[in-house]
């Protein structure tokens, strides 16, 4: 590992810690030349998840796009960013555990809606209105009736 301060390639590991979810190792290092310390992180190299869109296009799964959608759905609700990040972590973990390299966007949308349904009804309806492309108030009312009948 190259020292970010002096460029020396020789350094020693002082401390190693595994992240709480066990997917990252944090290492404190000390350069043997300049004696300055720096931190490195080791991550598992993961194969990207490809999303198959409705029109057949393929794109890499993007946590940021999911985060933006969830933030809009949860806007002005008592749902913290930590909850949203955990939500996305769980979603991505579930997608990876399928073992599939390509996943239809429909599957991801339904997984998100299912989780939002248990998290918060308002966030669920907001997300559903965009995801299911409600055309008018009747679509909205039909979704609300379905939601209420499940209670």
Q: What does the buried/exposed string (b/e) look like for 60-92 if buried means 16 or more CB atoms within 10 Å of the residue's CB?
A: ebeeeebeebbeebbeeeebeeeebeebbeebb
More confident residue, 140 or 84: 84
Comparing 19-23, 53-57, 66-70, 73-77, which segment has the lowest mean pLDDT? Answer: 19-23
Domain that holds residue 23: 11-43
pTM exceeds 0.85, yes or no: no
User: Is the same domain home to 61 and 111?
Assistant: yes
User: Is the same domain home to 97 and 130?
Assistant: yes
Cα gap 135→138, rounded to integer Å: 8
User: Is the same domain home to 39 and 54?
Assistant: no
User: Is the same domain home to 141 and 86?
Assistant: yes
User: Is the same domain home to 103 and 65?
Assistant: yes
pLDDT tier at 25 (50, 70, 90 boundaries)?
very high
Let me know if residue 2 belongs to a domain.
Answer: no
User: Is the same domain home to 19 and 81?
Assistant: no
| Tally of domains in the chain | 2
User: Is the same domain home to 81 and 31?
Assistant: no
User: Is the same domain home to 94 and 130?
Assistant: yes
Let me know if residue 6 belongs to a domain.
Answer: no
């Amino acid at each position: 590992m190259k020292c970010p301060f002096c460029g020396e390639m020789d350094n020693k590991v002082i401390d190693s810690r595994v992240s709480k979810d066990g997917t990252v190792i944090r290492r404190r290092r000390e350069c043997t030349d300049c004696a300055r310390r720096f931190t490195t992180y080791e991550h598992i190299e993961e194969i990207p998840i490809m999303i198959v869109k409705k029109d057949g296009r393929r794109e890499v799964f993007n946590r940021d796009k999911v985060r933006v959608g969830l933030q809009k759905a949860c806007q002005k609700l008592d749902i913290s960013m930590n909850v949203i990040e955990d939500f996305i972590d769980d979603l991505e973990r579930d997608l990876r555990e399928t073992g599939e390299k390509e996943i239809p966007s429909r599957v991801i949308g339904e997984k998100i809606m299912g989780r939002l349904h248990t998290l918060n009804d308002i966030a669920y309806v907001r997300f559903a209105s965009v995801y299911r492309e409600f055309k008018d108030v009747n679509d909205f009312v039909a979704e609300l009736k379905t939601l209420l009948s499940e209670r």
